[in-house]
Amino acid sequence: SRGINMLKQIEGSHGVSEAVALCRPEVICAYPITPQTHIVEDLGALVKSGKLKNCEYINVESEFAALSVGIGSSAAGARTYTATASQGMLFMAEAVYNASGLGLPIVMTVGNRSIGAPINIWNDQSDSMSMRDAGWIQLFVEDNQQAVDIHIQAFKIAEALSLPVMVCMDGFILTHAIEGIDVPDQKQVDKFLPSFVPRQILDPENPISIGAMVGPEAFTEVRYLAHQKQKEALKLIPKINEDFKQIFGRDSGGLISTFNVDDADTVIVTLGSVIGTIQEALDEQDENIGALTIRSFRPFPLEAIRSALKNVKRVVVFEKCFAVGIGGIVANNVRMALSGANIEVYEVIGGLGGRPITRKSLHKLFKDAVKDNLEVVTFLDLKKDVVERELKREKELIQSGSVAENVLRDGGVVSAAKTT
């Protein structure tokens, strides 16, 4: 890669928009929603100025329309890009399933943000996780350099498999952070990413049906083939990362990355940008702890995780989302990877709705982990007194009021009418 003096000090969103432009998209359909807005604003300006040529930028009236237009443009044979976050992801949910079910190689950035209610615009990974089984490839990035690199890889992965790809980057923490990024030049990207040759295309001269009605006689086979494509991706994603490394000199992708795992008794497993804070905290303590970051969440790299963790005693899965009523989503997948192994798996939920994940809290977590002093599901920095007060209130009062309002008042965030 280029020397440090060649790094551009830019916002993560701007880096992503430059990377996407270098991939020569032909249609960008977008609806702004925080925290991905800067990406699509930048791309709109690049199209309007003529710097991004041969690209149609389509303003739409909703997130559902954004991906619906993307489905149409991709089916017509155009390299297609969009972006979303949070409630926008939910609004386009039907189209999310349609895009993958139709086998359309759309690339979409998800600026990870919590899902309401209650309303919260800050980061966690609830939005991507809500669509984890929609049939898209889901790639999570750890920093803004990787965000740039993985978007370039995403187009190649999507088009090789004829599957859509989400690139998931933590909202605000990455999208709005300014740091040094090595943005590739057009020649490098052109060498890595060939022109788009669609596997299926709507052509009036050779009419076909994309999105046919499929009944019981064929639905199982169609869905199995979608699963098979994801399994193919487990081999393709590392290969494309190697191709990228040969041209750009950086190891940015693949299925997982590891830190001090080989000799560790305890390993922290996570995905996304929190690995930076975790590594800093690990460098400050003496415990024998490693870390493993999942870069490809879908397809889920069962074999790679099983191989990397086969000799550890315990695993702590740290995640920024959970399934209400059962617990950690990532942890349940990790347990599948470790099925049959005598390895204790703990779940730690942290950073919900943008709550800071501090090194002080992580140090305590590490000490508790190595002593097996964790609950199966632990909520980092949970204000138990506030929770207990609300539970008591609900038992004592028939009309106990809004949980969100009560918690804000009890926590001293809102000065309003007194709660009991």
Strand pairing report for 256-259 and 289-294: antiparallel
Rounded Cα distance between 31 and 153, Å, is 24
384-410, pLDDT tens digit by residue?
999 999 999 999 999 999 999 999 988
Spatial neighbors of 222 by CB under 8 A, at least 6 apart, are 214
Cα angle 84, 35, 233 (rounded to 5 degrees) comes to 45
Read off the pLDDT of each residue in 268-284 and give the average, rounded to a whole number: 96
Q: From CA 319, how far away is CA 123, in angstroms rounded?
A: 12
Instruction: Give the model confidence (pLDDT) of 310-344 as tens digits.
Output: 999 999 999 999 999 999 999 999 999 999 999 99
Check residue 420 and give its pLDDT: 47
Residues 346-388 pLDDT 10s: 999 999 999 999 999 999 999 999 999 999 999 999 999 999 9
DSSP string computed for 238-258: HHHHHHHHHHH-----SSEEE
- How far, CA to CA in Å, does 295 sit from each of 166, 169, 235, 241, 420? 12, 11, 14, 12, 46
pLDDT band, residue 212 (cuts 50/70/90): confident
Which tokens in the block code for residue 333? Answer: 């997948």
In the predicted model, is pLDDT for residue 414 greater than 80? no
Model confidence, pTM? 0.95
Q: Give the pLDDT score at 209.
A: 83
